[in-house]
Structure 1
Amino acid sequence: MKVKGIDVDPHTRCSHYHTDVDIIAIKFHCCNEYYACYACHQETASHSATKWPQDQWNEQAILCGNCQHELTINEYMSTSNCPQCNSLFNEKCSNHFHLYFDVTRESSRH
């Protein structure tokens, strides 16, 4: 699966986020393309990002950079590791949910 961004490695890490647990890519709602992070999208896409509306959170939009398993947004928001390969995800990513997902009316999911 092609993941766009700046200096993206085989595990979806990029120049902005490159620790051992930075192994997810996000399919952006606006273009249906996987990017390593919001900064990569902002710096390389020719359009503004849009957020995933809550009624589409069952869409597969998260890619595990370790095993290439796709997760739905709901699955991703409710776990800290890949259900396929058990690799840990960066728990601090939840601080950025508001950049990718419409969390304005969200109940406590995380």
Structure 2
Amino acid sequence: MGRRTTAPPALDARFAVPLRGVSVDAQTRCAHYDGPTDVVALRAGCCGVYHPCHACHDETADHASRPWPRARFSEPSVLCGACGTTMTAPAYLASGHECPACGAPFNPGCAAHRDLYIEPAPPGG
């Protein structure tokens, strides 16, 4: 994938957290994932900026993406685009694919690429 050679776009001022993406709507759906349950943005471990998806990070950052590190699991790293609630990675993983604050459904298909966003447990851990 190509990396940006220009300055990254400004942060999206509609959100209370630092967020960047491509064609992001008011509930964090983007040009790449825009289904009714695509209402989550995840914080990248490399830069601390929230992105609706890994492709948004790749298109708006000038560096390779890294998942949110386990050492920082006590910090918020997931944003519900439906209500604006932030949660930790463990809370998101335990949510049953819905926001614990507002009940908005989250896309269960995101589990297929979870390791891009959240550092996995070490083998045997």
TM-score (norm 2): 0.80
Contact kept? 1:25, 1:62, Cα under 8 Å: yes
Equivalent residue of 1:42, what SS?
A: helix
**Compared with structure 1, are the counterparts of its residues 106 and 82 closer, same or farther at alpha carbon in structure 2 (3 Å cutoff)?**
farther
1:70 partnered with 2:80: no
Alpha-carbon offset, residue 27 of structure 1:
1.1
Aligned mates of 2:62, 2:82 — CA distance in 1: 28
1:84 partnered with 2:84: no
Gaps spanning 5+ residues in structure 1: where? none
Aligned mates of 2:73, 2:54 — CA distance in 1: 18
Alpha-carbon offset, residue 59 of structure 1:
1.6
Structure 1 residue identity aligned to 2:109: K
Alpha-carbon offset, residue 95 of structure 1:
1.0
Structure 1 residue identity aligned to 2:113: H
Task: Show CA shifts across 1:49-94 (max 9, x none).
Answer: 1122222222200000000000100000111111111100001111
Alpha-carbon offset, residue 96 of structure 1:
1.2
Gaps spanning 5+ residues in structure 2: where? 1-14
Equivalent residue of 1:26, what SS?
A: strand
Among 95, 101, 105, which residue is 2:118 paired with?
A: 101
Structure 2 residue identity aligned to 1:103: P
Please tell me whether Structure 1 or Structure 2 has the larger radius of gyration of its CA atoms: 2
Contact kept? 2:83, 2:102, Cα under 8 Å: yes
State the percentage of identical aligned residues: 36
Contact kept? 2:43, 2:117, Cα under 8 Å: no
Moved over 3 A (4+): none
Alpha-carbon offset, residue 107 of structure 1:
6.8
